[in-house]
Structure 1
């Protein structure tokens, strides 16, 4: 499987509740290990950084309105990938909003 294959996959939590879709893959700086997935609630689309804490407030608001919730899913919290679906080990409520993720 290629990393780009994950883009657009459905994401469900441990109870089977829909969370959203994979919008991006975050890798460790060496480029060889997956750190986690960026999940968007409504639309799996290309992200330009405005879903985080950069850019004008109005533009960020519009992006969040379009995407819905945007979360970071650490790779260690992925339970299974099958049938174009990523299943979490935990619940949706335990996901960290992307805006709260420290920059690096």
Structure 2
């Protein structure tokens, strides 16, 4: 599976309720060193999910930038969550299913920046 195939997929919580769509994939460069390489490999750390409308993110979904612009972005996107890869139970044909409930999701703005 290619990472771009995850973008736009509906995300369902443990109860099968739709919580939003995949807007981005977070990668971390802490994997093994490839043979003859000098940089660590990338691994998928988690997904960024928006409640209302999957769109390209520009960083304003966090507490960054002018307050008015952030408010406009949040009014369009709704809630924005970070889903650790460990919380993903299954990737279906058109959906990503979680092993947790909506109430346990972590807002993206509370996550440390990498």
TM-score, length-scaled by structure 2: 0.88
Alignment TM-score, normalising by the size of structure 1 = 0.96
Deviation at 1:103, TM superposition (A): 1.5
User: What's the counterpart of residue 110 of structure 2?
Assistant: 100
The unaligned stretches of length 5 or more in structure 1 are none
Q: Check 1:31–1:21 CA distance in 2 against 1; reply closer, same or farther (3 A cut).
A: farther
Distance in 2 of aligned mates of 1:13 and 1:20: 10
Give the CA deviation at 1:31.
5.2
Give the secondary-structure state (helix, strand or coil) at the position aligned to 1:79: strand
Deviation digits for residues 37-61 of structure 1 (CA, Å, limit 9, x no counterpart): 0000001100000001110011001
The match for 2:9 is: 9
Distance in 2 of aligned mates of 1:68 and 1:53 = 14
Select 2:65's aligned residue among 55, 59, 64.
Answer: 55
Residues 2 and 94 of structure 1: is their aligned pair in 2 closer, same or farther, counting only changes over 3 Å? same
Q: Which runs of 4+ in 1 moved over 2 A?
A: 29-32
Distance 1:21 1:12 in 2: 9
CA-based RMSD: 0.9
Q: Distance in 1 between matches of 2:41 and 2:111?
A: 19
Residue 43 of structure 2 corresponds to residue 33 of structure 1: yes
Is the radius of gyration larger for structure 1 or structure 2? 2
Give the total of aligned pairs: 104
